[in-house]
Amino acid sequence: MKILKLEQGTPEWLQARLGCPSGSGFSKLVTSSGTPSSSAETYINQLIAECITGESTFMQKTEWMERGNELEPFARMNYELETDNEVTEVGFCMPDNNLRCGVSPDGLVGDVGGIEIKCPAPSTHVKYLRKGTLPAEYKAQVMGCLWITEREWWDFMSYHPQMPNLLIRVHRDEEYISQLERLVTHACQIIEREVAEIKEKL
């Protein structure tokens, strides 16, 4: 694993991720059941456009996304107190094989673990609490973190300051990770080829 020491959300971090399939987008390539996602073509087109224009795809932040960013440091401290684990914040992590993809973990834990933190709307947090499992929409992201960081487990935490935490430890699913790696690699190959072909026409 290669770690780019960049603060998440900065222009430098955005530039490093430009045109790269990344953790939050892995679900656009592979579903929670391990099948190719129907949104893959749209996502690949978006990343090709980023490579050619040099501009990140703008995503309008919702009220709850903004609130989540504000609450994340408190959630991280809460996790450290609850588990007695120390979290190390990192920037953008990429695989050692020079594949242009990566993940931006919410933290690495010790030598073998990591953490993904969500601070959702109250009703969404309640939904997660009632189900008590890793939400399907985050399986690709969590497994992607395990794949690229080569770690053994990943804690998923849903945090709301007025409710109990949901804390789920997720272990490696090698079959799923293998399929994720295959589909992400295929997407990276398409992006590289198509960008080169389009640039030749400029």
| Average pLDDT value for residue range 86-108 | 94
More confident residue, 69 or 61: 69
Beta-ladder partners of 54: none
Residue 59 is predicted with a pLDDT of: 64
Return mean pLDDT, the chain.
93
pLDDT-derived band at 94, boundaries 50, 70, 90:
very high
What's the confidence (pLDDT) of residue 14? 87
pLDDT tier for residue 57 given thresholds of 50, 70 and 90: confident
> Cβ contacts of residue 148 below 8 Å, gap of 6+?
1, 23, 93, 94, 95, 101, 102, 103
Looking up residue 37, the CATH number of its domain turns out to be 3.90.320.10
List all residues 6 or more positions away from 50 whose beta carbon is below 8 Å from its beta carbon.
Answer: 18, 19, 56, 57
Q: Is the pLDDT of residue 179 over 80?
A: yes
Quick check: 143 pLDDT over 70? yes
Identity of residue 51: C
Range of the domain at 34: 2-200
pLDDT at site 64: 63
Using 50, 70 and 90 to split pLDDT, how confident is the model at 5?
A: confident
Q: What is the mean pLDDT of residues 152-166?
A: 97
The total of structural domains in the chain comes to 1
Query: How do residues 102-127 score in pLDDT, each as one tens digit?
Result: 999 999 999 999 999 999 999 999 99
pLDDT band at 62 (very low <50, low <70, confident <90, very high): low
Per-residue pLDDT tens digits for 180-192: 999 999 999 999 9
Q: Cα separation of 127 and 198, whole Å?
A: 44
Q: Residue 27 — left, alpha, or beta (φ > 0 → left; ψ -120 to 50 → alpha)?
A: alpha
State the number of CA atoms in the 13 A half-sphere of 43 facing the CB: 21
